[in-house]
Structure 1
Amino acid sequence: MSDRPRTLLINPTVTSRHSARFPLALLHLAAGLDVKGSCKIVDCNVDRDMPGAVRAAFDGDRFDAVGLGVMGGPQVATAIQASRLVRELDPRVPIVWGSYFPTLYPDTALAAPYVDYAVRGQGDVALPELVQALHQGRHDRIAQIEGLSWKSREGIVHNRARKIVRSDPTGLLPYHLLGDPRKYLAHTYLGRRTVAHQASIGCRFRCTFCGVAAMFGGATALPDAMRLRRDLNYLKYDLGADSVQYFDHNFFDREQDMVPLLEVMAEMALPWWCFARADALLNLSESTWKLVRKSRLRMAYIGAESASPAMLREIRKGTRPDQTLAVAELCRRHGVIPEMSFMVAPPVNTEEETEHTFEFVRELKRINPHSEVVIYIYTPLPDSSRNERDRERHPSAPLLDADGHPMVFPATPEVWTEKRWVDYACHTDAPWLTDRLRRRIRDFETVLRCRFPTVQDMRSPRWVKRTLSAAATWRYHARRYDGPWELNLANRIVRLRMPQVSGL
């Protein structure tokens, strides 16, 4: 047996090759694993032959554990496929699932015979501790690993939750484990060589519907300016990146903490995209906005969520509809495109709330026509998946389907791969929607998307987008959304980009 543990990390397929970005979570895990061991990464978003890539990883190699990062939605199916293949290749190797799916549904993940361990929340420390214990045969240590769920003879055991901390590697992330990192640079609205990066983790807000709140429990951690400068220097000068897509869960946290980071970004002058909150942007001082402009922020994804003050209070969003409208105007003045996401069709007052949101979107477009609008179906987490403290303090109402029956969430990963549950996880459908309302939402999205094509669409010619916009104008102005057959026909030919499907 080698003195150093060996781990295989797999990123199951979840997106197209064109949309593949750095598997940042696996790179952070690899940095932790490499301190006392070594690892190999298989990114199936790039290696499109997933079975072949996994088989090749095992060829002449042995592992103490195999870890898979598993989001909800379509990645569950490919994670199952990869896990079954690993079990076939080496029945003895322990299989560990991490990321959002096992954090939200640890019992469901461990109900599968091909999952031995589930890491809840941050895995940067938990996974190396587990791999070290497995390598040394110290199974007595497993019960002490915080944030770990596992199978004992008596049943599933959930160890104590782990406190979220920032565990920065001493150097750069191990990008070399991905082969040539330049293959992850993408042509986007921001630039011809856009790179993915994450500076901070977590979010101090505790929205009841949000997987980030469930995973991090209100914790957040920012990097120091020196680390960000080092990372951006590598991405810009070594890899040749000309723009950055930041995957921070909430980029603008407290202004005083952000200023040193914005100063570094202003030096680098790389056009960028990020997640943000309306209230945080509204509270920035003029001097900080000057830094934001200098740093070349191009687009901010803002969770507007609802046009209803009551619903925003219910989901503990912490913002108001008037702030959504105000930040749209503020972004217009500063040359930033606000990409606003809305959740329609909540379980209560479903149709009324949806129509109210449609009208609110129109007002938003009147204030700032360049605002991007992304519409999702409101599909809240089951109460059991929310952070334990939030669950106790703010219990949710039971979820009912269209017939008034209590919703029963899947008990196995396989059931989560059924279309209705993939749609639920991706916020594209919910059991309480009627067919009529589904069509209404779909038709409104079609008219809106054609009337205001997204600037993120780099594929469709400009004349095509102008033509579709003109064709949709009368429907939009007359509020005649139902049955836009001519726009649907045009979309089959042109296939305008949908940010909620493909992202930046």
Structure 2
Amino acid sequence: MWDLTPIHAAGADRDTRDVRIAFVHLSFRKVARSRAVRSKALFSAHFPALGLLNLAQQLRDHFVDRDLHDWVRYFDEEAFEDRDAMEAAIRAWLRPAALGIIGMSTYTSSIDHVSDYCRRFAGDNILVVLGGAHVTVVPDDDLPCHIIVRGEGRDALVTIIERLGAPDFLAHARLAGICCQLGDTRVDGRAATDNSIETTSVPCFAYDLLSDLDTGVYATSYTRLLGVNPQIYVCTQSCRARCSFCSTYLIHRRMQARPVERIRQDLTQLRDRGYDSIEFHDDDLLQHPEFDALIDILREIRLPWFCYARSEILDDQVAERMAEAGCQRVFLGLEAMTQRSLDYLNKATTVAQNHTVATALDRHGIGAVSGLIVGLPHHTVPDVLAELDAFLALPLFAISCNVLTPDPRTREFMRARRRGGDLQLSLGGETGLTVIPDIQRWGLDQPVGLPSVCESIDKGTLNDLVAVIEYAFYTRPHITDALYSSAHTPEQREVITAYLDFVRARITERAPGVTHDLVRTRITGLMAHQ
């Protein structure tokens, strides 16, 4: 981290009202595009960073005598021609203020791009603050910034605005989850959680900050075409589950839920703003303690919606009520269809339950989009092909196939770290507890810039299998027809066509380099039926 001393000293006589904040969101799609990862660059969804919009709304609640638009602005990379243009706009916005703050969220998959962007402001009189999932779990990285915020951020931002430059700043910083270097003094604040999801005013997220952006900035996945102007929303934090590959509960700790009456007001405002569909990005919407009341609200709002859910509590009765309330898509974290793999991933469910929930959703007209994870340490090629056949037998609308990635401090990460091997070459940070993507060493195949943790399938073959899985699933006529039927505009149909063309082109491109006999045989059989 950069020494905070110059900015801290300059703040001694600063008027606390003379502050401007630039919340900056780097696009995962553009990160993928810069890495030439075509599947992510062309077909991934892009939405605003809800964490930043929630922080903005909390600032509105705390500083009630100030108009938020006078001192807080939201910058989205997709709204600019390039990063240079966004940098110029950020500088122009911050220049009049005595204290200009850049706030950015961090994710492991894009931490290298965030770092590169922060370096643009090195040596400037601009305070660079990084928060979010990555630094909350791994705060000791040598990142190019002045302050790292661990946890949910509200107390840290208020402390920075009100106390930076004051003699007691460091004492307050420790309690607010702030990590910084002030001269010879290093502060390592513990992750600070709050009840912001429960107490933030309506709406929970400052969607009005998006009004400066063009309407074409945001788009959803080709599997979630519920309307033409969707918006995302979250009403719970953390997750009661403990899947081995997920760090959500490490970031947010205890599960929290927004009161249903505030949810009603939030969603009503979204509808009144012209959004025609809602995507709940909660880890599991069904974990809301007032789920029955939430369903009643959604029935009243009368907008189509999507959510994430787990299979162990979603049965036919729940699926029926969700469908009646406007649910049209659910992302199911099935991940596997063998009990050994489900147990390894700590999914706390069974193969039979996975069958039950997929069948229930299909029966009630809800399209199930399922996760599928390959590349577990024990996986063999026959194992993965058997998983494919099991998923093809399920009544699913779509799948999302990924190679297992050990995110920092997750159970999967700790397992891989103990095993040693290639993963050790990608560990860094002051304690060796972060994963640093290295495209040169590990290439663009999944996991991008990292080695896989599979013991008997090489990374190239794992990605051959991903290509086989998606080709086998998406080229079936009933799946293709269902995708096209979900489109509302010619542009959405074009996206679906482009994705299907990509799936066919990718397997054609990979086929000549396939080295495993079973994979080659499966490709030959698939292409013979087209």
TM-score normalised according to structure 1 size: 0.79
**2:403 is equivalent to residue 377 of structure 1:** yes
Alignment-mate amino acid for residue 121 of structure 1: G
Q: Secondary structure at the match of 1:190?
A: coil
Alignment correspondent of 1:407: 424
**2:202 is equivalent to residue 171 of structure 1:** yes
Equivalent of 2:469 in 430, 439, 444 = 444
Distance 1:191 1:444 in 2: 28
Q: Secondary structure at the match of 1:340?
A: strand
Distance 2:498 2:161 in 1: 54
Once the two structures are overlaid, the 10-residue window that deviates more, 143-152 or 291-300, is 143-152
Alignment-mate amino acid for residue 80 of structure 1: S
Once the two structures are overlaid, the 10-residue window that deviates more, 16-25 or 303-312, is 16-25
Q: 1:302 deviation in Å?
A: 0.8
Alignment correspondent of 1:149: 179
Distance 1:191 1:30 in 2: 27
Matches within 5 A, 1:6-405: 6-15=20-29, 19-34=45-60, 35-36=62-63, 38-59=71-92, 60-62=95-97, 63-73=99-109, 75-87=110-122, 90=124, 92-108=125-141, 111-112=142-143, 114-134=144-164, 136=166, 138-151=168-181, 157-167=187-197, 168-172=199-203, 173-180=205-212, 183=215, 186=219, 189-217=225-253, 219-237=254-272, 239-253=273-287, 257-282=290-315, 286=317, 288-364=318-394, 368=395, 370-382=396-408, 385-386=409-410, 396=415, 398=417, 400=419, 404=421
Q: Secondary structure at the match of 1:209?
A: coil
Distance 1:281 1:347 in 2: 29
Alignment-mate amino acid for residue 309 of structure 2: A
Q: Secondary structure at the match of 2:122?
A: helix
Distance 2:436 2:375 in 1: 24
TM-score normalised according to structure 2 size: 0.75
Alignment-mate amino acid for residue 264 of structure 1: I
Distance 1:143 1:448, change over 3 A: same
Which 5+ residue runs of structure 1 have no aligned equivalent? 472-477, 491-504
Distance 1:58 1:417, change over 3 A: farther
Equivalent of 2:452 in 408, 412, 430 = 430
Q: Secondary structure at the match of 2:303?
A: coil
Distance 2:23 2:320 in 1: 42
Distance 1:41 1:329 in 2: 42
Percent identical among aligned pairs is: 19
Q: 1:323 deviation in Å?
A: 1.0
Q: In angstroms, what is the RMSD of aligned CA positions? A: 3.8
**2:437 is equivalent to residue 416 of structure 1:** yes
| Contact 1:76 1:417 (C-alpha < 8 Å) held by counterparts | no
Q: Secondary structure at the match of 1:357?
A: helix
Alignment-mate amino acid for residue 32 of structure 1: Q
Which 5+ residue runs of structure 2 have no aligned equivalent? 1-13, 31-41, 506-518
Q: Secondary structure at the match of 1:339?
A: strand
Q: 1:198 deviation in Å?
A: 1.7
Count how many residue pairs are aligned between Structure 1 and Structure 2.
458
Once the two structures are overlaid, the 10-residue window that deviates more, 25-34 or 347-356, is 347-356
Q: 1:424 deviation in Å?
A: 5.5
Q: 1:180 deviation in Å?
A: 4.1
Distance 1:467 1:315 in 2: 32
| Contact 1:9 1:41 (C-alpha < 8 Å) held by counterparts | yes
Alignment-mate amino acid for residue 418 of structure 1: I
Q: Deviations over 1:230-258 (max 9, x none)?
A: 11111112x2111111111211115x511
Alignment correspondent of 1:2: 15
Distance 2:365 2:324 in 1: 11
